[in-house]
Each structure stands twice: as structure tokens, then as C-alpha cells.
């Protein structure tokens, strides 16, 4: 997770999050705010826009995000993150479906690890991935947060 550069604390109905940016792109979102937020001039605009889009998402008026994101190039993980971004609001996929879409149908566990290492959750919606049975499984922010995000999107589990 790349947290060097700018950082900001964002209040949401589900708690305070940390937003991180560098070179005018969002680099990370964490489920706890930074201890000492620091906003560099070149990142101020993208951090304000990210906060605005999060506010709209939590208010139920935003279904997709349109922000410049900076993701590390990590092969299979990068492919999984790109596929996560394509899962529509209010829908879910299983880890095995995600692995198959990434070109490795037997790599459900690796897809799960990629979801767990997603540096920009919510904007890259790894919360929309569930177990093969449709049940909630791991989430870096905890299962309660995952359930709350899916409920916000109208997903019934």
C-alpha cells in the first residue's frame, strides 16, 4: 500500500477512513484515518474529489467512481483489481468467478489474496466478492463493514 505523498481523513457513516494520493492520483484507502494528514498542493484536488464521490456513494446517489487511481503493476493481482472495478454496483461475484475471468479458473485462493491486498477498496470494490455459496468471507475492513457496504448497495445475502 503506497501511503507516501498526501493523506486525508474522511468521515463516512461507517467510520473514518484514510485517503492517500500521489502525483494527482488516489493511491490508497484505509479503514482508519492517518495520524497526521498532509495534503500536498498537487493532490488537493483529487483528495477533495474522492471525498465528494465517497459522500455521494454513502448517500446512495453514486453508483460508479471516476477518479484517477494509481495501482502497482503486480501481474495477476493487477488483473483481478481491474476486474473488480468492472463489477456493477449492487452485484456480487464469487472468488472462483473472479479467478476464471482473470484467466486462471483454479486460482480462487489467489484471487482472494489479490482482493485482500487491494490498496484502494470501495473505489475498487472488493467488497462485492463473496464465497462460492454466496456467503460473506474475508474482508480487510472486517465482515461487518463488508456487509454494510453490500447492504448500502441493495445486496441481500
User: Could you give the residue numbers annotated as active site?
Assistant: 126
- Beta-carbon contacts of 1 under 8 Å, excluding residues fewer than 6 positions away, are 20, 27, 28, 30, 119
Is the torsion defined by CA of 135, 141, 144, 146 positive or negative? negative
- CA-CA-CA-CA torsion for 53, 26, 75, 115, nearest 10 degrees? -50
Phi/psi at 116 (nearest 5 deg)?
-65, -30
- Going by C-alpha positions, the residue among 19, 44, 21, 22 that lies closest to residue 32 is 19
- Going by C-alpha positions, the residue among 33, 32, 111, 119 that lies closest to residue 73 is 119
Amino acid at each position: 500500500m503506497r501511503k507516501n505523498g498526501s493523506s486525508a481523513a474522511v468521515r463516512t457513516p461507517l467510520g473514518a477512513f484514510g485517503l492517500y494520493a500521489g502525483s494527482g492520483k488516489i493511491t490508497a484507502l484505509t479503514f482508519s484515518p492517518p495520524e497526521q494528514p498532509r495534503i500536498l498542493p498537487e493532490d488537493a484536488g483529487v483528495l477533495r474529489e474522492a471525498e465528494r464521490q465517497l459522500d455521494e456513494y454513502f448517500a446512495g446517489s453514486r453508483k460508479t467512481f471516476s477518479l484517477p487511481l494509481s495501482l502497482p503493476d503486480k501481474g495477476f493481482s493487477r488483473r483481478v483489481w481491474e476486474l473488480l472495478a468492472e463489477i456493477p454496483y449492487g452485484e456480487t461475484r464469487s472468488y472462483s468467478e473472479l479467478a476464471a475471468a482473470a484467466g486462471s479458473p483454479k486460482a480462487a485462493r489467489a484471487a482472494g489474496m489479490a482482493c485482500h491486498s487491494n490498496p484502494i477498496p470501495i473505489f475498487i470494490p472488493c467488497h462485492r466478492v463473496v464465497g462460492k455459496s454466496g456467503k460473506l468471507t474475508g474482508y480487510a475492513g472486517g465482515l461487518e463493514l463488508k456487509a454494510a457496504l453490500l447492504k448500502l448497495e441493495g445486496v441481500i445475502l
